[in-house]
Chain A
């Protein structure tokens, strides 16, 4: 199975949290990778989805599973999905600045 390409870069911030910057589309082929990246990072994990163009229910499932350890920055396009799935009620979601 060819996985959909996904770039993950990890950064440590001054306050000890982890910032995971994701770039690409998240679907069933690469959601496991996302999960792994989140698990291996030390909490709290700030997920930067500003450059994520697609997030489907497989990706959402990963986020729900790790909800207690993550915060999210997402672009405008993803906001409806995050809202209707109810994720915004569990974790902090911020809108990424346009650009």
Chain B
């Protein structure tokens, strides 16, 4: 402090310092807690010794007296604002463990400080400085951080199993500390290479993160030395450029390579750790890294050890599996040959030709075969017990009864041996849960054992209850067991040497097995014995089922007798008796009875499935000899196919077969309604299958375990066949019935799969019962790609089948051989009485022939409709082609017409002409060949084309069909095309004839129909019939009569076409002449009566004949059977001209006709028409007239020509008129039309004419005067301006009245001057606009037109 030249600082010499500063400095210097302070405008720096030591470092003494902002320049950004806050607010700050990079040791150092800034005040109380009390936390913060990493690393090895999991786990932990470990690379050594196994902080593929490093190799990324020491690597070489920095601003300057040490061995590998450049590599840092490596190494060691153990366990398990497989296979290997030995021996022993000596030998073989079988079974029981695969099935049984039954089996053997069998088994009153099969073995073994070692006395079996246990005792009076042997009595393979016994045979496994089996029942067995007196085995089994696994409990089954398993025990025991041969020999009675069981009422068919050829042959021989019809299959799949095709009456199947084993076969058979009732007998050899057969019992009708006796097999086969026959009588009857149906029969399940079919089904579709079930999409569906339409039809039908209760449909399907079959199917939903499922039962028949006949008929009908509708020859031809394309769906149809001296004319169905030369050559050749062939003979050409030749009005026509790929042209197609072509030829001829007629008729009709010039106010229309387009006998006419009136005629003569048109022409002319001669409608029609009577085809013509005075609207008219004219009034009312009516022309010649009068009011519209306009099928005529009236009223404000168009538009039916139509429209009064020279003198006469016309229009006075004035002004303008320079040029005036308005048009051929020079004329235009509602003055080079409308109130 004293070394500082304070005078040079803003604070001045110490002596001048204020008291407040002195006090503050005093506190500072005297404190042993690190402090610094700043005072004055520059915040001059002071600090004490403690601060100097801990924090200031080598900045001392330079810092003293300097501005604080210089002293702590590197952290001023952090602390400056804090100091500012203190000075301005006077409030202290508090920061805990704030990271500050200090440069107190010559490098930027990561430090943590907890500090508080508090204000220092001068005498006036103003904050002029600050005091900082600091404690440095760097060591604490960093230690805690490292400890956390080490703790996390060691936290949870328990869940880490494999080395990879370990590395993932450690990487995750190391990555959480990027302060101390900006990056890490973990390498594991594999021979001479270190491989990257984990990394943190650095991206994969970074040059520093080399995937492999050759140990000791030159120029490796990390210079790894083998050894136990850490190595420091400087990272300033370019190869370490762009290393990640972790959380720091700059990447590490050094890295440490730390080995992953293994106890007593070479290192597992090493970790490369990037070092925090902001901390020194001190002991703390170094030991942190070593501890990290230690954790990782420990983890690797534990993971590797775990894996090794795991591998050993797996190997042991594998060994165990192998052993089990070995035992299982052994059993199979033993049992099948045993069967094949025992079966034929049985045959030979019973054979009458077998002599006694041979039989004795055979008995030996037979006996030993049984023994071998018993031994195999016992061994297998052990193997299953060991593997935990002894699948017991405990059911509540009457223990006393079962045990007594078993004991009684041994009675004969015991008695033969000269002993007594005492059975004392009173009922227990409550059941004991037993596995019957196991219990048999327990009792049989004990009895067998007792008999074997007892020479005098008795064997006693007792059953009694004792508390909550049932106790079974088997006691003998035999040789007994020495006391020292008793503990080993139940040991496997332990035999008591030199014991006297009835037989030396014995494997020493019987009692061991008994003990195991009793244990499975939750019971115990003990033996007590006195040598020379006898032995007692006491079994104790708990009542109830609580001690047994719940899954193995079953309900009580019917009390079956002891199984065949007892046989070997008894046989063996009998052998021990004195006269032992007697039991083994086949008795005389047995010899007389062949092994064959009594014949069935009729032979049954049996299917044998076994992959073992010997066994198959043996069984076949056995069963054939017994009178069965035998077929064989070498595996399950073949058996299934055979059974489906021809269900046998019984199936015998081995369990173990390739392709489809016995279990799967059984399942498949049961799933198929055709075979579900076929009884199946399973033959089993494999140990674990015996157990599973129990569970299968519901599915298999019976099962035999190899080895089995031939007689037993035959007995079971016969029993099953008979049972099935009884059971299946009904089913077979049903099958026979269904098969006898001529209609195809099928049953579908809920998903639409076909599960049953009959013979007719196969006949029609080619699909037999072998393929069942047929899942949808069924194989007979048409292909969706090549025949989408048919596919869609079938799919739609299938939908109804799935969803509707019943239905019927006709669909195209595909026979198995590929041809199209049409079937008509009917189906009904039904409930399967057995399963309760809803099934669909259906029948169908082949309607292909009918379908083709109907198709032919409808195709010909459709073609004829097309031909009739065709307006002309060309349309007939294209219509026919379109129809052909429709019939042969997807086909391309062309018509080629050959006519002399012109190239062949080719048309497609779209009517567009094609170029003959553009057709492919093979097509052209084939078409030419057809042309030169016979008429109307359809010929297929190649696989998918066909054609036919026919007469065409212009020459010869060939119709050519390109059917497209996979569309064979079948016989029925040929027939159809021939028939169609015949129809077409006729149709074309007809169309041609009509063409010619119509052409003439149209020409004629145009020539004779109506006047060229109509009087004003009239409009007319004529429309020939549309389908077919045809002229007719309708006409209209107007005749200007000498007295200024107008004759109006509308007529309709009977018939169509040319003849009618010709008659019409005559009638029209006659009517015209008659009216001119005598303008009386009635008299005219009477004269016409005579004319028509004399004219062929004119009788019954209807005519309206009228005479109209256009000035007054007065109409005189008469009607010869013609529909009434319509007059639409301006006020919406309607008059029908229904007076003056009488019969059509010539219906009653000479009869007097009357006539009627009618006055048309102004602005009314009259329409006269022929019946084609209003007549429609299935509609009364008055409705047609009403609708015509409506259209007439609708056109009230249109001029008559527009009105006629409107009427035509509204009344033309879709597709055109069926009959020809003529009509005439007139609005009264007709328009006024005047042309006059541009001369003012014309104005008065024009006004006079207009006034007169307006009067006829019956306008209100004001309106009329307004129109008059507007017209006068327009005319005056035309005269004055339009033609000022050319007086006398024409001016046109046209006035036309509608129902509610009036139009006035004045047109000149000159130009108006603009602007208007004469103010009076300007007033004229104003007047026009005032008087009329709408004025449009259109001036152009051709003249000026004034177009005005007035609304008529």
* Chain A residues close to B by CB (< 8 Å): 1-5, 25, 27-29, 54, 56-58, 60-61, 77, 80-81, 84-85
Contact = CB atoms under 8 A, between A and B. Distances in A.
A61 B1326 CA distance: 13
Given A1-B1241, A4-B1244, A81 B1320 contact: no
Interface in B1278-1299: 1279-1280
B1273 A57 contact: yes
Contacts of A77: 1261-1262, 1265
A81 B1269 contact: yes
Nearest to B1280: A28
Interface of B: 1239-1241, 1243-1244, 1247, 1261-1262, 1265-1266, 1268-1269, 1272-1273, 1276, 1279-1280, 1319-1321, 1323-1324, 1326-1327, 1330
- Residue in B1243, B1247, B1262, B1268 whose Cβ sees the most chain A Cβ within 10 Å: B1243
- The 10 tightest CB contacts between A and B, nearest first, are A2-B1241, A61-B1320, A57-B1324, A4-B1244, A57-B1323, A29-B1240, A84-B1330, A56-B1272, A77-B1265, A1-B1240
A84 B1327 contact: yes
Contact of B1240 (A28, A60, A80, A85): A28
A60 B1323 contact: yes
A28 to B, nearest CB: 5
Contacts of A80: 1262, 1265-1266
Given A1-B1239, A56-B1272, A80-B1266, A25 B1280 contact: no
Contacts of A1: 1239-1241
A56 B1261 contact: no
Contacts of B1280: 28
Nearest to B1262: A80
Given A25-B1247, A28-B1243, A28-B1280, A54 B1324 contact: no
A85 B1272 contact: no
A28 B1276 CA distance: 7
B1241 A58 contact: no
Nearest to A60: B1323
30 contacts: A1-B1239, A1-B1241, A3-B1241, A4-B1244, A25-B1244, A25-B1247, A27-B1240, A27-B1247, A27-B1272, A28-B1279, A28-B1280, A29-B1241, A54-B1269, A54-B1272, A56-B1276, A57-B1273, A57-B1321, A57-B1323, A57-B1324, A58-B1276, A60-B1320, A60-B1323, A61-B1320, A77-B1261, A77-B1265, A80-B1265, A81-B1269, A84-B1326, A84-B1327, A85-B1327
Given A28-B1276, A80-B1262, A57 B1320 contact: yes
User: For the complex, would chain B's binding face be called helix, strand, loop or mixed by DSSP majority?
Assistant: helix
User: For the complex, would chain A's binding face be called helix, strand, loop or mixed by DSSP majority?
Assistant: mixed
A85 B1327 CA distance: 8
B1327 A56 contact: yes
Contacts of B1243: 4, 27-29
Contacts of B1244: 4-5, 25, 27, 29
A40 B1247 CA distance: 29
Nearest to B1325: A57
Contacts of B1269: 54, 56, 81
B303 to A, nearest CB: 115
Given A1-B1239, A28-B1243, A29-B1240, A57 B1276 contact: yes
Contacts of B1320: 57-58, 60-61
Nearest to A5: B1244
A56 B1320 CA distance: 9
A29 B1279 CA distance: 11
- Residue in A29, A56, A77 whose Cβ sees the most chain B Cβ within 10 Å: A56
Nearest to B1241: A2
A61 B1321 CA distance: 9
Contacts of B1273: 56-57
Contacts of B1240: 1-2, 27-29
Given A27-B1272, A80-B1266, A61 B1323 contact: yes
Nearest to A83: B1330
A81 B1276 contact: no
A61 B1273 CA distance: 13
A47 to B, nearest CB: 18
A16 B1262 CA distance: 36
A45 B414 CA distance: 174
A29 to B, nearest CB: 5
A58 B1272 CA distance: 11
Contacts of A2: 1239-1241
A25 B1247 CA distance: 10
Given A1-B1239, A56-B1276, 10 more contacts: A27-B1243, A28-B1276, A28-B1279, A54-B1269, A57-B1321, A61-B1323, A77-B1261, A77-B1265, A81-B1269, A85-B1327
Contacts of B1330: 84
A58 B1322 CA distance: 10
- Residue in B1279, B1320, B1326 whose Cβ sees the most chain A Cβ within 10 Å: B1320
A29 B65 CA distance: 124
A25 B1326 CA distance: 20
Nearest to A27: B1243
A80 B1331 CA distance: 9
Contacts of B1321: 57
A85 B1325 CA distance: 11
Contacts of A85: 1323, 1326-1327
B1243 to A, nearest CB: 5
B1353 to A, nearest CB: 14
A58 B1326 CA distance: 13
Nearest to B1242: A2
- Residue in B1244, B1261, B1276, B1319 whose Cβ sees the most chain A Cβ within 10 Å: B1244
- Residue in A29, A54, A57, A60 whose Cβ sees the most chain B Cβ within 10 Å: A57
A60 B1323 CA distance: 9
B1247 A54 contact: yes
Contacts of A4: 1241, 1243-1244
A79 to B, nearest CB: 9
Nearest to A85: B1323
Nearest to A65: B1320
A27 B1248 CA distance: 13
B1268 A54 contact: yes
A25 B1241 CA distance: 12
A27 B1280 CA distance: 12
Nearest to B1240: A29
Nearest to B1287: A1
Nearest to B1264: A77
A13 B1257 CA distance: 43
B1268 to A, nearest CB: 7
A80 B1265 CA distance: 10
B686 to A, nearest CB: 124
A94 B1029 CA distance: 70
A25 B1246 CA distance: 13
A29 B1247 CA distance: 13
A81 B1265 CA distance: 10
A16 B1240 CA distance: 36
A2 B1244 CA distance: 10
Contacts of B1324: 56-57
A19 B1272 CA distance: 28
Contacts of B1261: 77
A32 to B, nearest CB: 11
